[in-house]
Amino acid sequence: MTANAPGQVCLMQGNEAIVRGAVEAGIHFAASYPGSPSSQILGMLGKIARERNFYAEWSTNEVCALQACCGASLAGARALCVVKQNGLLCTADALHCAAQHGVKGGLVIVSSDDPSAHSSTNEFDSRWQALSAGIPLLEPTTMQEAKDMIPYAFELSEAVGQIVLVRLTTRVCHGRGNVALGALPEKPRALERVKEWDRMVCVCYMHGPALQKLEELRQRFEVSPFNHYDGPEAPRRLVIAGGTGCLYGQEALRRLNAGAETGFLALGTLWPLPEAYILKHLRAAEEVLILEEVDPFLEQAIQALAGREGLRVRFLGRSGGALPRIGELDPDNVTAAIARLIGASLPEKRPAGELELPVREMSFCAGCPHRATFYLLKRAMRQEKHPGVVVGDIGCYFMAGQSAGQYAYQVCNCMGSGVNVAEGLGQLTNYGLDQKVVTMCGDSTFFHTILPGLVNATYHNANMLLIVLDNSATAMTGFQPHPGTGLTAMGEAVKPMDIPKILDAVGCKVEVADPFDVVEAEKTLRRLLDQPGMNVLIMRQPCATLKAKERSRKPVRVYVDQSVCLGDGCGCDKYCSRVWGCPGNTWDFRNNKAQIDPVTCVGCGVCAKLCPSGAIRVEEESEERNRCVPAGADLTTKGGEEA
């Protein structure tokens, strides 16, 4: 990342290429809130920040990150803000205001979208935010473009005095490709003292200048090096693509041997459209296919351009039925769409195999404390006269709406919404709603967006219970630090913020429990459910994966004494492996008994407390047992225990 070796070619992940581009651009400031698929960007920047003499932080939320970048820009600093699609939506007010007042030092936002929602709850398309805010939009196709677009975006931002949005997708973030390095600046340029009459103020009369910036940007995009065309001079059939659609489209044209007669226009500057450049290739076309992720953003914009120019063109794309309306592009659906465009038959597709892959539902990790929490919550709610309402939120615990959390909650909106949705329901308990109301949040989400809703619910004395799932990390996105962990992105140790003290200052009734101590935790949970008003229960137990990284060996050995296990004869109906859902709890089909996977199990021991026959045992681990077991060794003894 920091090698000053211009021209050297390196294999890089897309996120790494963004980091390298930021370093080559000479950034002064970087801020982000963790969000896949781009979490690695700020993590890597934090590790090299001191070496390259810039500042990097994991902000409390995306609004803090963007507004901090605006502050840095006022001093002439180059600032990079990294978010995912949901995070960009969080910044909407700040983004639109900043777009209206403009910037001084370059300000670039990298937004990573997640088509098909591989690591998200949705596949929102962040390109609409560029259109709405009136800011320029770039989208790279390759890792080389991802690196090169960042310095270009900063130059563009400073030349026009406007925020620039660089949009990535999962396949670019996590894909790998060759990247030729550029030169590194010797040091970041000097910052500028903020002068008395310097202004970055969002007022209505700045709307006109903001629109003028868009027109200047359009002219610059007409000659951008990130737009290129291949094919005949006046194509009857034209493919226009952005982002990953460019690679899939080029591959499809080669597979169909159709590159000579079909035009291919790759766009890296998506908004404002380089209209003259597009029209140059569009005027002769009779049919046009648009390849993009996910919404028909380009399709609608280019259709509008063609209509304004009076062109008679048939458009195919996301909204025309040629491509799926949802989900990400892939080589097969793009090849099928181009074959339809040119009237060619599809190349023969060879099946990978006869067997279908089994459906595998998401689950909590082995030893995850959330599994125990939702077991206790479901158990408590089922024993109420009227089963209560559980409101979800965003984090690992989002999976609690599935079998991983015993289908615990009925509603989940966006990050930080749980406490507000629950407050609305909690107020109705005074007007005839005869149900207990529970919501939850993680420790990182608590700082991210819970606090305003918490103040509101406490101020209005809502009848509800907030469960804070404190696992000491932003676990879902890679264990990034947050204000409660006592560590910054640059590795600096700071005083951790105390969640119980914050809750106490707000005026909540607070108790702390350990979800692994199932008996005492259940008593505490039931007591708080029966108390009127705003109550908070902190379920505190570190993330099992985080704990496993920090220790050299497992503290205990968990195993099944198969001589005690009743197998199919037990009234639990295989609860440990069928319902509990921990990856460490499996079934021995040879002996028709429960079994613990010694590799997967992390030794939390909760399952032993739930086994009705007492067949699951927990004992102190010894040094001898922690030695490696030879491959192929028998893991059971004559008594059915693991060796």
For the segment 30-34, the average pLDDT, to the nearest whole number, is 95
pLDDT tens-digit profile of 462-481?
999 999 999 887 877 777 88
- Tell me 205's DSSP state: G
**Amino acid residing at 244:** T
Any domain includes 414: yes
Residue 46 has pLDDT above 50, yes or no: yes
Tokens of 536: 């908070």
Q: Are 25 and 150 in contact (CB under 8 A)?
A: yes
**Residue 641, pLDDT score:** 42
Residue with tokens 């909690």: 426
**Residue 439, pLDDT score:** 94
Helix extents (H) in 497-598: 499-506, 518-530, 544-550, 575-578
| Lowest-confidence segment of 39-48, 393-402, 494-503 by average pLDDT | 393-402
Any domain includes 524: yes
**Residue 316, pLDDT score:** 94
pLDDT tens-digit profile of 320-374?
789 999 999 999 999 999 999 998 888 777 776 777 777 878 888 888 999 999 9
For residue 629, give Cα distances in angstroms to 259, 450, 603, 632.
57, 47, 18, 8
Q: pLDDT confidence of 553, banded at 50, 70, 90?
A: low
For the segment 591-603, the average pLDDT, to the nearest whole number, is 91
For residue 425, give Cα distances in angstroms to 336, 416, 439, 510.
49, 16, 11, 20
Any domain includes 636: no
Are residues 52 and 165 both part of a single domain?
yes
Cα 70-74-75 angle, rounded to 5 deg:
125
* Helical (H) or strand (E) element with 25: helix 14-25
Total domain count, the chain: 4
Angle between helices 451-459 and 418-428 (to 10 degrees): 10
Residue with tokens 């400073």: 158
What is the rounded distance in angstroms from the CA atom of residue 132 to the CA atom of residue 494? 39
User: 344 in helix, strand or coil?
Assistant: coil
What is the rounded distance in angstroms from the CA atom of residue 536 to the CA atom of residue 558? 32
Residue 398 has pLDDT above 90, yes or no: no
**Residue 519, pLDDT score:** 93
For residue 166, give Cα distances in angstroms to 1, 18, 181, 357, 468.
20, 10, 19, 36, 35
b vs e for 473-488, b when ≥16 Cβ sit within 10 Å of the residue's Cβ? Answer: bbbbbebbbbbbbeeb
Are residues 217 and 233 both part of a single domain?
no
Residue finishing a domain among 488, 520, 548: 548
Phi, psi values for residue 531, rounded to 5°: -85, 135
Q: Are 351 and 332 in contact (CB under 8 A)?
A: no
Tokens of 474: 């932003």
**Residue 639, pLDDT score:** 39
Are residues 457 and 537 both part of a single domain?
yes
Name residues whose C-beta falls within 8 Å of residue 433's C-beta, 6 or more positions apart in sequence. Answer: 425
Are residues 155 and 101 both part of a single domain?
yes
Question: Exposed/middle/buried for 8, CB within 10 Å: 0-12, 13-18, 19+?
Answer: exposed
Residue finishing a domain among 513, 548, 583: 548
Sort residue 605 into left (φ over 0), alpha (ψ -120 to 50) or beta: left
Cα distance between the two ends of the chain: 46
More confident: 27 or 548: 27
Q: pLDDT confidence of 555, banded at 50, 70, 90?
A: confident
Sort residue 324 into left (φ over 0), alpha (ψ -120 to 50) or beta: beta
Are residues 518 and 620 both part of a single domain?
no
Are residues 410 and 526 both part of a single domain?
yes
What is the rounded distance in angstroms from the CA atom of residue 14 to the CA atom of residue 177? 8
Are residues 95 and 240 both part of a single domain?
no
Residue 420 has pLDDT above 50, yes or no: yes
Name residues whose C-beta falls within 8 Å of residue 257's C-beta, 6 or more positions apart in sequence. Answer: none
Any domain includes 46: yes
Any domain includes 347: no
Name residues whose C-beta falls within 8 Å of residue 411's C-beta, 6 or more positions apart in sequence. Answer: 389, 391, 392, 421
Mean pLDDT, rounded, of the chain = 90
Residue 161 has pLDDT above 70, yes or no: yes
CATH of the domain at 304: 3.40.50.920
Q: How many CA atoms, within 13 angstroms, populate the side-chain half-sphere of residue 101?
A: 18
Q: pLDDT confidence of 625, banded at 50, 70, 90?
A: low
Q: Are 180 and 54 in contact (CB under 8 A)?
A: no
Any domain includes 359: no
**Residue 473, pLDDT score:** 76
Are residues 518 and 572 both part of a single domain?
no
Any domain includes 385: yes
Tokens of 394: 């965003």
What is the rounded distance in angstroms from the CA atom of residue 302 to the CA atom of residue 290? 9
Q: pLDDT confidence of 622, banded at 50, 70, 90?
A: low
**Residue 634, pLDDT score:** 46
**Residue 633, pLDDT score:** 43
Are residues 560 and 612 both part of a single domain?
yes
**Residue 624, pLDDT score:** 53
CATH of the domain at 446: 3.40.50.970
b vs e for 230-243, b when ≥16 Cβ sit within 10 Å of the residue's Cβ? Answer: ebeeebebbbbbbb
Name residues whose C-beta falls within 8 Å of residue 354's C-beta, 6 or more positions apart in sequence. Answer: none
Which domain covers residue 35, as residue numbers? Answer: 9-187+202-221
Any domain includes 572: yes
Tell me the torsion sign for CA atoms 619, 580, 400, 419. negative
pLDDT tens-digit profile of 269-317?
999 999 999 999 999 999 999 999 999 999 999 999 999 999 999 999 9
Q: pLDDT confidence of 384, banded at 50, 70, 90?
A: confident
**Residue 350, pLDDT score:** 72
Are residues 46 and 182 both part of a single domain?
yes
For the segment 62-87, the average pLDDT, to the nearest whole number, is 96
Are residues 164 and 232 both part of a single domain?
no
| Lowest-confidence segment of 105-114, 180-189, 330-339, 471-480 by average pLDDT | 471-480
Residue finishing a domain among 326, 342, 358: 342
- Tell me 398's DSSP state: G
**Amino acid residing at 499:** I
Residue 201, Cβ neighbours under 10 Å: how many? 10
Residue with tokens 């003259």: 276
Angle between helices 518-530 and 369-382 (to 10 degrees): 50
* Helical (H) or strand (E) element with 252: helix 244-255
**Residue 637, pLDDT score:** 40
Phi, psi values for residue 629, rounded to 5°: -90, 130
Are residues 558 and 542 both part of a single domain?
no
Residue 554 has pLDDT above 80, yes or no: no
493 has which bridge partners? 487
**Residue 643, pLDDT score:** 33
For residue 149, give Cα distances in angstroms to 9, 142, 165.
17, 10, 11
More confident: 640 or 238: 238
